[in-house]
Structure 1
Amino acid sequence: MTSTLQQTFADEWAAWHRDREERLTDPHGFLAVTSLTWLGEQPVTAPGAPGRWSADARGVVVDLADGETLLVEGAPVQGEHVIGELGLRESRLLLAGEVGVEVAERGGRYVVRVRDPRSPLLAAHPGTPAFPADPRWSVPGRFVPFEAPQPTTVPGVLEGVEHVYDAPGTVEFTLDGTDYALRAFPGHGDGDLTVLFSDATSGDTTYPFRSLHLVPGADGGVQVDLNRAVNLPCAYTDLATCPTPPAENRLPIAVEAGERTPTVRGSARPTDDGAVLAG
């Protein structure tokens, strides 16, 4: 690769990394999460959010006291309000003033997470460290679909939480003469893929696992650019429910590319009513 192409590669990666940091430090991004509360039939408070929250046959329900208001899809609600059922891994963001109140489905249960722009973790974030962009880690690959999606269960980072994904296939690629195959999960966009993986740097210079977003072409071809391997929210805070990689997605090499372990991380502490707060 010529020096001009190398510089272009580095510049494109730097622009991507800046965009990643802008989304991470959004006032309602994951660094703004200050509490996590699992819901059941018994109404509970969600620290930092108005109302009392529960989940029943109607889905998520909030009961707001006199004078309390939430914005739901831009409309103010008061008293008892049925937010309703949420689909698999669905999230909705409500607003209480400048505070975001996320309701979500995770592992077959409902959860409320408060996203406060005044979060100490957000204020303290120094930027995510990363390896320098290196074209060596960007190689052509191929998405190989299964005959039918394969349900794949993986543990979450929180004890007792499991995630089930319909894995559509594997991503195959060759790096330094060695062939690799990683099981892929559906991504957020139509046809997109998410690959969770670990490698020989995991737990050392990088978080125990990372994620790679891939977009195969119509012919299955896909650029596997490990320079764009990213941390999941659980790398930054205990108030996350991230899935872990399938067992077969451990690369036996040291992938010195992509994001490294964050230098600042938020801890968590439980409350008497079962919620979890940022420490």
Structure 2
Amino acid sequence: MTAQATAKDLQAFTEEWLAWHRAQEDRLAAPHGFLAITSLHWLDERPQRFDDAPGAWRTGADGVTVTLAEGEELVVDGVPVRGEHRFGVLPERGGVDAVWGDAVIEVARRGGNDIVRPRHPDAPLRTAFAGTPAYAPDPGWVVEGRYLAFEEPRPTTVGASVEGLEHVYDAPGRIEFTLQGRPLSLTAFPGHLPGTLTVLFTDATSGVTTYAANRALTVGVPSPDGGVVLDFNRAANLPCAYTDLATCPLPPAENRLPLAIEAGHRIPRERGGA
């Protein structure tokens, strides 16, 4: 391969990474993205009112209910609601967005708890966001691996960025690969798109140049023989890297890599990153 061809390949690789990085930033800093969250409220059977959301909120065996005072209104699934509105029992990791003016009131279930998380476009964390520091993209951090499916998905309990909270995921398999001459493996969880995988991990950079608690890597659909590609340049921060109002899962213990992955997202400026 000529030097000119190599330079072209590197330019294309960098441009693809930049497009991915911008898409990550756009989702994070969207008007109702994670940077727009202004509070995190844990619901119980007692009606509670909050400064950044309308109504009195409670939960119980029948799920989440809000009671709106006179003059208060939410829009749920495009329909204005007043008075008492029942959201019902929400599935784990599920939720409903209720619109209130230019804000969105997220009603969700995390770790077996019902929560309310208002999202306001003028949240200071969002309006002051100046982007996420990251390592320069380097093709050397693209690694081929092999996906090995478990006979049955394994329920895997992991901690969360919120103390005392736990998440349970059905891990469908693990990924084996070699990096810097070392054989390694990572437990994989289901990805956001059908057939894809998500890997949560830490490494020797965690707490030094990258966020201490976790980073996430999306892995494409494995080939028929289990072949996968791990592009650590796309190791992404989860929302908890920016805000204490997120409930992100932590990696399982076996996903603590014993080497430095100097690729992907670094510690956010919001956490003191450079």
TM-score band (shorter)? over 0.9
User: Partners in 1 of 2:24 and 2:162 — Cα distance?
Assistant: 25
Unaligned stretches of 5+ residues in structure 1: 267-279
Which residue pairs with 2:220 in the alignment? 215
Which whole-Å deviations, capped at 9, do the CAs of 1:26-48 have from their partners, x for residues lacking one? 00000000011001111112331
User: Partners in 2 of 1:59 and 1:188 — Cα distance?
Assistant: 25
Please say if 1:60 is aligned against 2:64: yes
Which residue pairs with 1:251 in the alignment? 257
1:1-279 equivalences under 5 Å are: 2-208=6-212, 209-219=214-224, 220-265=226-271
Q: Please report the RMSD computed on the Cα atoms of aligned residues, expressed in angstroms.
A: 1.3
Which residue pairs with 1:274 in the alignment? none
User: Partners in 2 of 1:30 and 1:162 — Cα distance?
Assistant: 20
Contact kept? 1:36, 1:46, Cα under 8 Å: no
User: Partners in 1 of 2:12 and 2:256 — Cα distance?
Assistant: 30
| Number of residues of Structure 1 aligned to a counterpart in Structure 2 | 266
Name whichever of 29-38 and 177-186 sits farther off: 177-186
Provide TM-score, normalisation by structure 2. Answer: 0.94
User: Partners in 1 of 2:228 and 2:54 — Cα distance?
Assistant: 46
The aligned amino acid for 2:165 is V
The alignment-based identity, stated in percent, is 58
Contact kept? 1:46, 1:112, Cα under 8 Å: no
Which residue pairs with 1:273 in the alignment? none
User: Partners in 2 of 1:26 and 1:135 — Cα distance?
Assistant: 29
User: Partners in 1 of 2:180 and 2:219 — Cα distance?
Assistant: 20
User: Partners in 2 of 1:92 and 1:132 — Cα distance?
Assistant: 37
Contact kept? 1:35, 1:47, Cα under 8 Å: no
Which whole-Å deviations, capped at 9, do the CAs of 1:241-261 have from their partners, x for residues lacking one? 111110110111110000000
Q: Give the C-alpha shift of residue 130 in structure 1.
A: 0.2
Q: Give the C-alpha shift of residue 218 in structure 1.
A: 4.1
SS at match of 1:264: helix
Q: Give the C-alpha shift of residue 177 in structure 1.
A: 2.4
Contact kept? 1:32, 1:117, Cα under 8 Å: yes
Task: Point out 4+ residue stretches in structure 1 off by more than 2 angstroms.
Answer: none
SS at match of 2:86: strand
Unaligned stretches of 5+ residues in structure 2: none
SS at match of 2:19: helix
Contact kept? 2:44, 2:58, Cα under 8 Å: yes
User: Partners in 2 of 1:206 and 1:138 — Cα distance?
Assistant: 18
